[in-house]
Structure 1
């Protein structure tokens, strides 16, 4: 058996004295493992770093075998990612999400999105919003996609400010008003791609939204805790966003 593909390094573990088992998110073959002979050498160590894109040739006698990789570097991102907290925690958080997928299931859209976000992590004010969309895409590929395009109650496409925690569907301001205290906030940039995420408050709402559904549908049923890397990335991304202006009490008009 043999195939050739491109992929992004997710992680490594030692194998024998000189080799490693590389975990790679490939474009056509999903999350796939393989042995890299001599992977701990000075030549290959810089190549086999999380976040780097590589060209792969995988060979095995049978398809179900672990197999071996031959790798060539395509895009060296790891050095740049290690320069910031957003980069370090971002690649780890997305790798943790991709490990939720069944091994060897093809998810080309997630591979491409992963690459795009990795190339944008040095733009902090874009990174958080892109990461949230990545979490939404992972939920969708796991079978738990949210419907944020129309109001679940009225079918309206405008004034969508809530998400039902039960159905995962958007709800308009008018329809959701009686149950506002039970709803999740829907930041405007998620249903409307023409809008940008412009503040830390908006991004925090988005993180809380995807975090709720990841917990409910993925982490809790599997009996696992959310990855620490997600919390660390969210904190770093929020610090990089503009903060909402807050009025000092001394500047407020007196109550008459």
Structure 2
């Protein structure tokens, strides 16, 4: 059994003295793990960093085996965020959430494409926090728990949508939401593709996606949001981007 694909390094776990088990998000094979021999060598260490884009070949005798990876560097973008604490926190949060939420060996090409877009934006702190929130929303959607932000669940109106029902994940317009605002989740305009991003919007977006990721994706399998995501929120607050 073997295949070859493009991918993004998500996690690296030491295995033995010189090897590592590496998890990679690929376009056609999804989140996939494999053993890399010589992973701690000087030539491989810079390649096996979370966020790096690689070409990977996998081979195993049987499909259910862990198998071996042969990995070649495509774009070593991880080095570009190492000195930016907030961007590094964003990268680590996305990698940790992908490992935790995505089923192994199940293709999610839209999540992979969104991750590539996020990686390309980390150099611009005016852009990437909103892209990160959108990536989490896309992850929810691709896992079958997408938010319905097209129209008000009560009136069918498409304007002035301000909140989301925590029960249904559907949007609610401001007038209908007003009596129940304390029980609803706020919807920032940028998540519907309208309006400028103002102070507080990223926090609202993270609260919204985090709520549904916890309750729809993670809690049913006895998991919680990764600590890396908590550190991301702290870093965004530090730089004034929440």
Cα shift at 1:240: 3.3
RMSD of aligned C-alpha atoms?
1.5
TM-score, scaled to structure 2? 0.94
Distance 1:211 1:60 in 2: 37
* Alignment partner, residue 15 of structure 1: 15
4+ residue segments displaced more than 6 Å: none
Per the alignment, residue 129 of structure 1 pairs with: 130
Q: Distance in 2 between matches of 1:226 and 1:155?
A: 33
Aligned length: 241
1:124 is paired with a residue whose SS is coil
| Residue 68 of structure 1 pairs with residue 38 of structure 2 | no
Correspondences of 1:14-163 after superposition (within 5 Å)? 14-99=14-99, 100-163=101-164
2:203 and 2:181 map into 1 onto residues whose CA distance is 18
Q: Which residue of structure 2 lines up, in the alignment, with residue 247 of structure 1?
A: none
Match for residue 236 of structure 1? 235
Instruction: Give 1:137 deviation, angstroms.
Output: 1.1
Deviations 1:33-72 (A, max 9, x none): 1111211111111111111000111111111111111111
Distance 1:28 1:230, change over 3 A: same
CA contact (8 A) 1:164 1:184 kept: yes
Q: TM-score, normalised by structure 1?
A: 0.89
Unmatched tracts of structure 2, length 5 or more: none
Separation (CA, whole Å) in 2 of partners of 1:241 and 1:117: 20
Give 1 or 2 for the bigger CA radius of gyration.
1
* Corresponding residue SS for 2:189: coil
Decide which moves more: 104-113 or 77-86: 77-86
**Quick one: distance in 1 between partners of 2:94 and 2:83?**
17
Give 1:221 shift: 2.5
Cα distance 1:71–1:81, how it changes in 2: closer, same or farther (>3 A)? same
SS of the equivalent of 1:190 reads: helix
Q: Note the C-alpha offset of 1:229.
A: 0.9
Is residue 60–residue 67 contact of structure 1 (8 Å, CA) maintained in 2? yes
- Is contact 2:97-2:225 (8 Å) kept? no
Which range moved further: 105-114 or 118-127? Answer: 118-127
Give yes or no for contact 2:202–2:241 (8 Å, CA) kept in 1: no
**1:75-117 Cα shifts (integer Å, max 9, x gaps):** 0112112111222211221112212111000011111111111
Superposition deviation, residue 217 in structure 1: 1.6
Alignment partner, residue 213 of structure 1: 212
Q: Partners in 1 of 2:20 and 2:184 — Cα distance?
A: 47
